[in-house]
Structure 1
Amino acid sequence: MLEADKKLIEDNKQTCSWFGSYGIVPHLAEMVDAKTILEIGVAYGYHADFMCTVLPGINYVGVDPYEAGYDPNDIFCQDVQRLFGEMVPQNAMNRLFNVVSSNLLKFEGRAKLIREKSWAAADQFKDGSFGLVYIDGDHTYEGIKKDLNAWYPKVSKGGVICGDDIGWVGVKQAVDEFFVGMNRDYQIISKDGFENMPAFYFIVD
């Protein structure tokens, strides 16, 4: 089943609309000379694969609980369930986790996948562990707020914390409140031609 599932995920790339935003994280990583990247929200693993390929010198850690139904407004779990033809949503997420875990093995120890809620996984790492933290997991207000509070301390000085979908209401509210509370301003970035897919970033000092 695993090999068949891997083919389904590979074929699904052709219909995925997320690739328009790819390239922002490698750009930011090179800007701050990040050697370690933490991604919250791995999903199909396409972005993880992209980053590990275009940044051969980095070590990557991805955190994703692969949990169905965490946000009724997020259709990702439904897409995965439909792709695998599963009646039980959590079974589909389990199969996706197995595929992504297998696909990351080709990076020979440079890529690690942690299946856990992101804010809980943060306790596994010392403060200042990462040159870049990318938030792309739970897009609810509460989810983004928890991720910012949990992972901001894990970014090294001179490193960057960033995340996508800053145009989403809940995401923007959480990001705004976090940086207003610090009396700091974050920056907006997007790829040329994909201005409708902006991300935020902040260099930690």
Structure 2
Amino acid sequence: MPALIKQHQYKRILEVGVALGGHAEALLNNTNVEQYFGVDPYRSNFDPEDQFIKTVGAYSNRSEQENCDYLYTWVKHYRLNQFGTRCKLIRATSAAAAATFTDGSLDCIFIDGDHRFSAVMQDLALWWPKLRPGGLIAGDDYAMASVAAAVNQFFAAEQKDLLMFSSEVGYQIWGVYK
């Protein structure tokens, strides 16, 4: 993603699904992004198909929600704090966060939140209008049947061509230009 962001000189980007913040940190370290928005509710049982929080919980005696609270604090104050005003971590659902953005206000959106079909469809419907013309909406986890089905269905209805990119670390990214 950093190479695509640099190539197009995107300045305002948003990521749905921050988790540990590694992708956010890579984007901010390796691009000239002026404003990164990271949206994640940090709520347990949010995506039952994603084992992320259970994996985090394997290293502590806390409840899943306590792990989510701890993770949010760590990502915000330790991992991403170094980027100051360039980075805004929004602890909210995708729907709640989308309601606070103006249509056409974002250059690039990366979808990596709830991986269930209905949730991916909702994320695409919520965030697609927020993307400016010429902007890129993208995501990973296309190998998950639910993600692929939602992405294919949504963009077929929009009559947009789906592109596949290789990331700098070797995983596949789907993307659509508006």
Q: What band does the TM-score fall into relative to the shorter chain? A: over 0.9
Consecutive aligned runs of 4 or more in structure 1 exceeding 2 Å deviation: 191-194
The amino acid of 1:148's aligned partner reads L
Which of the numbers 59, 67, 73 marks the counterpart of 2:35? 59
Q: CA RMSD in A?
A: 1.4
Q: Distance in 2 between matches of 1:91 and 1:102?
A: 16
The reply to whether residue 69 of structure 1 matches residue 45 of structure 2 is yes
Unaligned runs of 5+ in 1: 1-24
Deviation, structure 1 residue 199 = 1.2
Deviation, structure 1 residue 74 = 1.3
Deviation, structure 1 residue 57 = 4.0
Instruction: For residue 108 of structure 1, give the secondary structure of its aligned residue in structure 2.
Output: helix
The reply to whether residue 113 of structure 1 matches residue 89 of structure 2 is yes
> Aligned residues: percent identity?
36
Rg larger in 1 or in 2? Answer: 1
The reply to whether residue 202 of structure 1 matches residue 170 of structure 2 is no
The reply to whether residue 87 of structure 1 matches residue 67 of structure 2 is no
Deviation, structure 1 residue 193 = 7.5
The reply to whether residue 38 of structure 1 matches residue 23 of structure 2 is no
Question: 2:164 matched to which residue of 1?
Answer: 188
Instruction: For residue 31 of structure 1, give the secondary structure of its aligned residue in structure 2.
Output: helix
Q: Distance in 2 between matches of 1:42 and 1:135?
A: 10
Q: Greater helix share, 1 or 2?
A: 1
Deviation, structure 1 residue 105 = 1.8
Which of the numbers 113, 119, 126 marks the counterpart of 1:137? 113
Question: 2:73 matched to which residue of 1?
Answer: 98
The amino acid of 1:163's aligned partner reads G
Q: Distance in 1 between matches of 2:24 and 2:122?
A: 22
Question: 1:159 matched to which residue of 2?
Answer: 135
In structure 2, the CA distance between the partners of 1:199 and 1:57, relative to structure 1 (3 Å rule), is closer
Q: Distance in 1 between matches of 2:54 and 2:119?
A: 19
Q: Distance in 2 between matches of 1:177 and 1:147?
A: 13
Task: Report the TM-score, using the length of structure 1 for normalisation.
Answer: 0.82
Question: 2:150 matched to which residue of 1?
Answer: 174
The amino acid of 1:48's aligned partner reads A
The amino acid of 2:172's aligned partner reads P
Deviation, structure 1 residue 157 = 1.0
The amino acid of 2:98's aligned partner reads A
Which of the numbers 88, 92, 98 marks the counterpart of 1:122? 98
In structure 2, the CA distance between the partners of 1:77 and 1:57, relative to structure 1 (3 Å rule), is closer
The reply to whether residue 49 of structure 1 matches residue 13 of structure 2 is no
Unaligned runs of 5+ in 2: none
Deviation, structure 1 residue 73 = 2.4
Deviation, structure 1 residue 58 = 2.7
Kept in 1: contact 2:160–2:176 (CA 8 A): no
Deviation, structure 1 residue 31 = 2.7
